[in-house]
């Protein structure tokens, strides 16, 4: 490089470091006098008597009475009045690249196994703008996920965004693991947000498995970490998925769960004085969700097919976060606790679930068979009480007779063990066989 080429780079360097001092600590919020900085910038807080013992990374989240409001990425036990605050003058960046595949990292992009990190990674910003709506290609291609009930009845397109709505303990993690192992996407990015520490390793070893991890990047931000770290876990996973999309790849992003991201944002909002509005959630929660969810989908270079799990308290599908997310995404899968209690896994309720793009993606024969199965299944459930108590007389309704005959085959079709892979073509063929057996009988 010539000396003349270095001049513009040298001119960009700020020769002055900007410092401030901690003045007040209230809960998880820090107030400092200075430095000159902007919303979203990251700062170092120096602790210890000599100012060099330890550096704590924090983010600027607001201003109050000419003071800077900071939120730390780690615990604040060593911070004291007068601790120096240094502004880095930029927002948070993490490293992304092919070398991340097969690794488990934290919200800051650092390996959780204690290794020093991989080479050949490039910095990417965690906060980015969604693609221009007019530059998004139309979704025209199916992406198989290896789950029979989804591929046949709720077909997903490459670049579609789906919400998985369920209460606790109905098989969300198992379903995500099945899709990660069997999907035809080039790479998986899996965000585990607000999980118990025990569950992270269990998910990787039991649900994801060695085969799934080989083509996955797992980002973990556990429930014991500060609220800002849980939000950054979601943003980091999305940024890494965007990096792979920009390389022209088909990416599968799975986030468990977006509800815990919203709860972390509520925690921050309340700390800085936002008024609680809808069921205790602050306005910033409903601003964050579309900003996060709209970043995925198709772009001119590649695609991110995204699955976001949503925890529904008491299986209430109309609680604020579930309602908001459902309105943003391109479909929703509902996991039914009654099915799970019956040992029916994956516990997908095909009558309450919908893929908004299925009609545009599949053949007329496939669509017709799926509609027929859904209609027959619904007809049986509507008459189930009469059938179970023996009040229904065979021959009273040809449709109910057909539903009774096909119900065991439909249940068997919709069930699938975790070690029972099913290709897209096999799922469609199996669906058509079930329908044809009903029409021949």
220-235: pLDDT as tens digits: 999 989 899 999 999 9
Q: To the nearest 10°, report the CA torsion of 22, 25, 29, 31.
A: -30
SS3 state of residue 124 = strand
Question: Residue 371 pLDDT more than 50?
Answer: yes
Structural element, H or E, at residue 265: helix 258-271
Sequence-ordered list of residues with C-beta below 8 angstroms from that of 174, at least 6 positions apart, any chain: 207, 345, 346, 418
How many residues are recorded in the chain? 441
Q: Which of 59-63, 157-161, 387-391, 398-402 has the highest mean pLDDT?
A: 157-161
In tens, the pLDDT along 208-222 reads: 888 889 999 999 999
Question: Residue 364 pLDDT more than 90?
Answer: yes
pTM of the model: 0.90
pLDDT of res. 196: 85
- Reading the block at residue 164, the tokens are 């998985």
| Sign, CA torsion 9/61/133/158 | positive
Quick check: 121 and 97 in contact, CB under 8 A? yes
pLDDT of res. 363: 94
Q: What is the CA radius of gyration of the chain?
A: 25
Q: Dump the DSSP string for 169-238.
A: TSSHHHHHHHHHHH---SEEEEEEES--HHHHHHIIIIIIHHHHHTTEEEEEE-TTS-HHHHHHHHHHHH
Q: CA angle, 272 as apex, 56 and 95 as ends, to 5°?
A: 40
pLDDT of res. 36: 86
Instruction: Name the nearest CA neighbour of 63 among 99, 30, 89, 94.
Output: 30
Beta-strand relationship, 54-64 and 250-256: unpaired
Structural element, H or E, at residue 430: helix 424-440
Question: What percent of the chain clears pLDDT 90, i.e. is strictly above it?
Answer: 53
Q: Which of 13-17, 50-54, 207-211, 360-364 has the highest mean pLDDT?
A: 360-364
pLDDT of res. 236: 96
In tens, the pLDDT along 301-316 reads: 999 999 999 998 766 6
Q: Which of 16-20, 311-315, 366-370 has the highest mean pLDDT?
A: 366-370
pLDDT of res. 51: 46
């Amino acid at each position: 490089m010539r000396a003349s080429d270095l001049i513009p780079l040298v001119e960009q360097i700020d020769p002055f470091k900007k410092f401030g001092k901690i003045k007040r600590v209230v809960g998880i919020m820090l107030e400092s006098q200075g430095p000159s900085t902007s919303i979203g910038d990251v700062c170092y807080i120096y602790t210890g008597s000599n100012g060099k013992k330890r550096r704590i990374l924090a983010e600027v989240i607001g201003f109050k009475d000419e003071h800077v409001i900071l939120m730390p990425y780690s615990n604040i036990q060593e911070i004291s009045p007068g601790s120096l605050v240094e502004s880095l003058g930029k927002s948070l960046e993490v490293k992304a690249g092919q070398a991340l595949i097969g690794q488990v990292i934290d919200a800051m992009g650092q390996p959780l196994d204690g290794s020093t990190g991989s080479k050949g990674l490039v910095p990417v910003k965690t906060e980015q703008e969604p693609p221009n709506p007019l530059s998004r290609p139309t979704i025209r291609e199916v992406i198989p996920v290896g789950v029979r009930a989804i591929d046949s009845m709720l077909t997903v397109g490459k670049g579609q965004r789906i919400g998985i709505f369920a209460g606790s303990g109905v098989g969300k993690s198992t379903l995500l693991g099945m899709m990660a192992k069997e999907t035809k996407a080039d790479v998986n990015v899996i965000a585990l947000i607000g999980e118990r520490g025990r569950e992270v390793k269990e998910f990787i070893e039991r649900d994801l498995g060695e085969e799934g991890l080989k083509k996955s990047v797992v980002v973990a931000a556990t429930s014991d970490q500060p609220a800002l770290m849980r939000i950054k876990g979601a943003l980091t996973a999305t940024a890494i998925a965007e990096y792979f999309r920009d390389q022209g790849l088909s990416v599968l992003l799975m986030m468990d769960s977006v509800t815990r991201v919203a709860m972390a944002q509520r925690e921050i909002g309340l700390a800085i004085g936002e008024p609680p509005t809808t069921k205790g959630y602050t306005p910033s929660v409903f601003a964050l969700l579309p900003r996060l969810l709209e970043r995925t989908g198709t772009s001119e270079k590649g695609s991110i097919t995204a699955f976001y799990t949503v925890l529904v308290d008491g299986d209430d599908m109309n609680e604020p976060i579930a309602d908001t997310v459902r309105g943003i995404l391109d479909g929703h899968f509902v996991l039914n606790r009654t099915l799970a209690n019956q040992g029916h896994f994956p516990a997908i309720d095909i009558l309450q679930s919908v893929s908004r793009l299925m009609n545009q993606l599949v053949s007329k024969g496939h669509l017709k068979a799926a509609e027929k199965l859904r209609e027959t299944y619904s007809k049986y459930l509507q008459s189930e009480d009469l059938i179970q108590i023996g009040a229904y007389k065979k021959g009273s309704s040809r449709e109910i007779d057909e539903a009774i005959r096909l119900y065991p085959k439909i249940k068997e079709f919709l069930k699938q063990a975790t070690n029972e892979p099913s290709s897209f073509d096999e799922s469609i063929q199996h669906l058509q066989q079930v329908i044809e057996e009903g029409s021949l009988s």
